[in-house]
Amino acid sequence: MVCEGNETDLEIGIPAVMLPQDAGASLEKYIMNGSVVMLALYSPKRPVVDVAEVFLWLMAVGTILCASYWSAWTAREAAIEQDKLLKDASEEYLPAEGTHSGGIVDINMTSAILFVVVASCFLVMLYKLMSRWFIEVLVVLFCIGGVEGLQTCLVALLSCFRCFQNAAESFVKVPFFGAVSYLTLAVCPFCIAFSVIWAVFRQISFAWIGQDILGISLIITVLQIVRVPNLKVGTVLLSCAFLYDIFWVFVSKWWFHESVMIVVARGDRSGEDGIPMLLKIPRMFDPWGGYSIIGFGDIILPGLLVAFSLRYDWLAKKSLRAGYFVWAMTAYGLGLLITYVALNMMDGHGQPALLYIVPFTLGTFLTLGKKRGDLRILWTRGEPERPCPHLELQSPQ
């Protein structure tokens, strides 16, 4: 309430108390049940750094690390198989240029630019339709993606053990799905049950564990399937994501009178603690409670560039010191760390993580590539030039 300085009556005594959403929900529940509620006003100080932020940082960095090694290993195996086919002079069996086996999808320039438009439309739709029923729809979609991600990760992990190799290499035809391995059929019911149990009991205090497991599995699967073919596409994609994050966290306040991104992430007007498309950990030593969160986009989008760096290093046979992966991974970790520093300096007000992550990761990659003389190949081809196996076989011994 604002009063002018020349007002005659300025003695206004209206107490105002700000509570976290979960505390307000608990208070409302007790009042509706007819319980006697007594309040004592106390404003404890929040810790500078909460353990939840440390674990969330480790989860984000570890997820990109695992996804990058899986993506690089797949790319190296595909390159080895292609070289074998070339040496056998079997070009007719080679995949067409620009395609990949195993359902790999390369992002092109058009997709990178359209990202801002599509993501913005989806965010506005979430903002306008935010309600309990719409959250239920998002939960169903998240569970479908989580089942696919968890199943893919478990099958890939179990296939590394000798006792599961026969089941992974034996297939059976399933209607509407085609050839499916016996290992996938065995794992699928567990993944569905895990996802359904989380969806039903997602309101309990430790349900965040199931959400994080499904979310990490989904992120790793996406980073395995979707790839940036070169640094040019990666630069356009991250630059668009950089502007998108800043606009919907800061600039959107001028049009909507509140930060659209923060409102959607918190799940305001939905009766829940937030949308399921994020990783979260409860703040353990914060007297105000709540969760430390990070959106899927803050991991997936920079993770595409980090995974690209490791694929390039392995195909170019670069050591860790001479390669780009260690630098890109370190830059992402520092960018995310600066994000949490800024978050605490702003007293918990939401920050666009890509505002700090993109300059660190992309700037480091571009600077290092220019300094080492690899920028042209990274920018256009995205992979080192490999000698043709035919020429190697014909060269004098």
The answer to whether 245 is a known catalytic residue is yes
The catalytic residue among 212, 245, 273, 286 is 245
Asked whether the whole model's pTM tops 0.85, one would answer no
How big is the CA angle at 345 (ends 363 and 39), to the nearest 5 degrees? 145
Q: Does residue 392 belong to any structural domain of this protein?
A: no
- C-alpha span between 241 and 153 (Å, rounded): 27
Residue 173 phi, psi (nearest 5): -80, 130
- C-alpha span between 199 and 146 (Å, rounded): 11
Q: Does residue 12 belong to any structural domain of this protein?
A: no
Q: Does residue 92 belong to any structural domain of this protein?
A: yes
Sequential DSSP letters for 19-30: --HHHHHHHHHH
Q: How many domains does the chain have?
A: 1
Q: Does residue 277 belong to any structural domain of this protein?
A: yes
Helix 325-345, helix 354-372: angle, nearest 10? 150
In the block, which residue shows the tokens 């478990």?
154
pLDDT by residue for the chain (397 residues), tens only, comes to 455 555 555 566 677 777 777 777 788 888 888 888 877 766 677 777 788 899 999 999 999 999 999 999 988 887 777 767 666 654 444 444 444 545 788 899 999 889 888 999 989 988 888 877 888 889 999 999 999 999 999 999 998 888 888 888 888 888 877 788 899 999 999 999 999 999 999 888 889 999 999 999 999 999 999 999 999 999 999 999 999 999 998 888 888 888 888 888 877 766 666 788 899 998 888 777 778 889 999 999 999 999 999 999 998 888 888 899 999 999 999 999 999 888 878 765 678 899 999 999 999 999 999 999 999 999 998 887 765 554 444 444 4
Q: Does residue 8 belong to any structural domain of this protein?
A: no
The catalytic residue among 212, 273, 286, 298 is 298
Q: Does residue 355 belong to any structural domain of this protein?
A: yes
pLDDT at 34: 81
- C-alpha span between 261 and 246 (Å, rounded): 10
User: Which domain range does residue 94 map to?
Assistant: 21-42+52-381
Q: Does residue 1 belong to any structural domain of this protein?
A: no
With a CB cutoff of 8 Å and minimum separation 6, the contacts of 61 are 329, 332, 333, 336
Helix 354-372, helix 297-315: angle, nearest 10? 20
Q: Does residue 391 belong to any structural domain of this protein?
A: no
With a CB cutoff of 8 Å and minimum separation 6, the contacts of 130 are 263, 264, 267, 268, 269, 270
